[in-house]
Amino acid sequence: MAKRDYYEVLGLQKGASKDEIKKAYRRVAVANHPDRNPGDTAAEERFKEATEAYEVLADEQKRQAYDQFGFAGVEGMGGAGGGFQDFSSVFRDFEDIFGDFSGIFDSFFGGSGRGRRGRGAANRGADLRYELEISFTEAVFGTRTEISYRRHATCDACNGSGAESGSGRKTCQTCGGAGQVRRSSGFFSIASACPACNGEGFVIENPCRKCRGSGLLQKQQRVKVTIPAGMDNGKRISIAGQGDVGPAGGPAGDLYVVVHVRPHEYFERHANDVYCIIPISITQAALGAEITVPTLDDKRMKVKIPSGTQNDRVLRLKNEGVPFLQDPARRGDMYIKVRVSIPGKLSGKARSLLRELAQVEGENGSPEPVKLADIK
């Protein structure tokens, strides 16, 4: 069968740059690698064909000879006609060619996609999440509480070794303690975690009966959590090292406490400001008054209601809002929406007085609509 032109094999034009050659070979090799196409002899042949093309075109001397004389120009140079005599020139820069495709090759060859762990490496334990509900006031001014949850902790029977007392671990015979096995596929040599010891490099002869060889047990954990002043709903607090303990003596993960704030009976929070509604009477709205209102920290502050106050007017109390999370000395403001309360029932004297007021004010029985532009 006649050979195909090397440029055609890699999908290139004559005169392509080194970088273009490298990228083209990587694309064809990844698509046709035997481990990705088991039993596909056509794909294996395309892979070999691409490797042969790259071995010639990536070498300046061989490429010049090929461009000038074709296949005859590389006879005996490890290229066409001479067979694959020395592939070190092709794969000495293997990492450079396939480095950013390591995740893909891991998935082809049984890896985790996160790189090889190697002997003696310890896996970090899992992070945990705890949902904590607190009151509105606790979120505003901060609090300290204790939580209880379950996590993986070191087995107290084997001290995390996973081995029954009096026994121990022995070197894995499959990988010789390396934690990895290598296998050749075509012109590649691929390392992957040893299947016999899961990459640990050792096996346990007599597993601990309490933890069944894992070295870990589910245990109840109690931790004190400090909620800073100004904590908002949905925020989370990170507590380092309070998650699951890692296997084989690995470090513990973190605990994330997600805070949920119960609504307040009277106050509503927006960022660091708080809002509430205070009812006043018709006469207080008309004549003005001085009233006392509750604040977040259970104080009662005097607020002046100006005469002629309209319904839904908003008044502000400075620095009576929520402390800033990063600067508790600063606080937002408190906003009071005035709600003019209309009595449902009136005494005879009250009715008489209101009728007299209506006559004095000359109330209009046919008022004109208010212009929208005049509404503030």
**pLDDT tens string 337-352:** 999 998 888 888 988 8
The domain total for the chain is 3
- Do 241 and 145 share a domain, yes or no? yes
As a whole number, mean pLDDT of residues 74-78 equals 66
pLDDT higher than threshold 50 for residue 102: no
Q: Can you list the alpha helix ranges (DSSP code H) found in the chain?
A: 6-9, 18-32, 41-57, 60-69, 88-91, 94-98, 102-108, 136-141, 282-287, 348-361
User: So what's the pLDDT on residue 107?
Assistant: 40
Is 373 within a domain? no
Q: In angstroms, rounded to a whole number, what is the distance separating the alpha carbons of residues 179 and 360?
A: 98
User: So what's the pLDDT on residue 36?
Assistant: 76
For tokens 């088991």, name the residue.
Answer: 38
What's the CATH code of the domain at 343? Answer: 2.60.260.20
As a whole number, mean pLDDT of residues 282-311 equals 92
Q: In angstroms, rounded to a whole number, what is the distance separating the alpha carbons of residues 20 and 12?
A: 8
User: So what's the pLDDT on residue 185?
Assistant: 53
- Do 250 and 352 share a domain, yes or no? no
As a whole number, mean pLDDT of residues 19-35 equals 86
Provide the terminal-to-terminal Cα distance of the chain, rounded to the nearest Å: 88
Q: Which amino acid is at 87?
A: F
User: So what's the pLDDT on residue 321?
Assistant: 96
171: left (phi over 0), alpha (psi -120 to 50) or beta: beta
As a whole number, mean pLDDT of residues 210-231 equals 93
- Do 52 and 39 share a domain, yes or no? yes
pLDDT higher than threshold 80 for residue 113: no
Is 19 within a domain? yes
Give tens-digit pLDDT for 78-94.
544 444 444 434 444 44
**Structure-token pair, residue 58:** 């990536």
Give tens-digit pLDDT for 152-180.
999 988 888 888 876 777 888 888 888 88
Is 326 within a domain? yes
Q: Which residue has the higher pLDDT, 202 or 146?
A: 146
User: So what's the pLDDT on residue 294?
Assistant: 93
Asked if residue 151 lies in contact with residue 219, where contact means CB atoms within 8 angstroms, the answer is: yes
User: So what's the pLDDT on residue 221?
Assistant: 95
- Do 259 and 280 share a domain, yes or no? no
| Residue span of the structural domain in which 322 resides | 268-362
- Do 237 and 328 share a domain, yes or no? no
Q: What is the mean pLDDT of the chain?
A: 82
Q: In angstroms, rounded to a whole number, what is the distance separating the alpha carbons of residues 184 and 190?
A: 6
- Do 95 and 225 share a domain, yes or no? no
pLDDT higher than threshold 90 for residue 271: yes
Is 371 within a domain? no
pLDDT higher than threshold 90 for residue 202: no
- Band of pLDDT at residue 254, cut at 50, 70 and 90: very high
Residue spans of beta strands (DSSP E) within 155-280: 169-171, 180-185, 188-193, 202-204, 216-227, 236-239, 255-261, 268-270, 273-280
Helix (H, G, I), strand (E, B) or coil at 159: coil
Q: In angstroms, rounded to a whole number, what is the distance separating the alpha carbons of residues 108 and 344?
A: 79
- Do 135 and 77 share a domain, yes or no? no
Is 191 within a domain? no
As a whole number, mean pLDDT of residues 296-302 equals 91
- Band of pLDDT at residue 376, cut at 50, 70 and 90: low
- Do 343 and 219 share a domain, yes or no? no
Of the listed ranges 164-168, 252-256, 307-311, the one predicted with least confidence: 164-168
What's the CATH code of the domain at 55? Answer: 1.10.287.110
Q: Which residue has the higher pLDDT, 117 or 286?
A: 286
- Do 221 and 298 share a domain, yes or no? no
Query: What is the side-by-side strand order in the sheet with 314-317?
Result: 268-270, 273-280, 334-340, 314-317
User: So what's the pLDDT on residue 248?
Assistant: 74
User: Among 237, 263, 289, where does a domain finish?
Assistant: 263
Is 319 within a domain? yes
- Do 136 and 255 share a domain, yes or no? yes
User: So what's the pLDDT on residue 105?
Assistant: 46
pLDDT higher than threshold 90 for residue 333: yes
pLDDT higher than threshold 60 for residue 69: yes
Q: In angstroms, rounded to a whole number, what is the distance separating the alpha carbons of residues 344 and 213?
A: 76
Is 132 within a domain? yes
> Residue 125 gets which letter from DSSP?
P
- Do 255 and 289 share a domain, yes or no? no
- Do 87 and 157 share a domain, yes or no? no
As a whole number, mean pLDDT of residues 256-276 equals 95
